[in-house]
Amino acid sequence: MGQMIELTSADGTRIPAYLAEPAGKPKGAVVVVQEIFGINRHIREVADGYAADGYLAVAPATFHRVKPGVELDYSEAGMTEGIALKQAVEALPAPGVQADLQAAVDWVAERSGGKVGIVGYCWGGLLAWRAACQLNGLSAAVPYYGGGMTTPAEIARQPGVPVLAHFAETDRSIPLEGVEAFRKAHPEVEVHLYPAHHGFNCNHRGAWDEPSARLARERTLAFFGTHLG
């Protein structure tokens, strides 16, 4: 269903992205933001899924500025490399990767002719939260277990669009105290907790929890249906 394309960021950098197109006219667009494992099979499948539901979906390679062509598995070695690449991207001068996400938002807005949402997983969840607070042209954002979202610095941000946030009850990297602090600071955000672990949406990981993933997806599609069409 999908193909690789290139986006052009504001500074002229060309960023690869995976594009999945719906069968008919898009009812909107979704920017899919990767985990720390690159544009791997799971992220391509996620984009394909949103396309099957009628959205033009694009997943930009958010590691490209520090290392092109990253596609990691969920092994310990993949995790170690992914964490190092994430840290390298986070260390880039502002606006860093947010400029590439803005390029993705702008591209799908023009291509689809509709409203644009963003969904991200793990590190991508954090980037989706920041996008909701910083980027132009978005109409909705959905972070899944966004690593770092519940730190004081991130909680202090203010979203400019409706946000739906999914967290896991037994996520060792995102303590429940942080989730509750986030929920208290942002009553305007729809927050859901699931009886699962970090990464519960990914059926290529041992943490996959099918009932939680299904419910979160149903809620996400309803949310996008309300705010994107």
Catalytic residues: 122, 171, 198
* Token couple for 106: 């702008």
d(CA 4, CA 82): 21
Cβ of 12: how many Cβ atoms within 10 Å?
A: 6
Dihedral (CA of 62, 65, 69, 75) sign:
negative
Q: Nearest 5°: CA angle at 200, between 195 and 202? A: 165
Cβ of 214: how many Cβ atoms within 10 Å?
A: 11
d(CA 56, CA 52): 9
**What is the SS3 assignment for 60?**
strand
Kindly state the greatest CA–CA separation across the chain.
Answer: 44
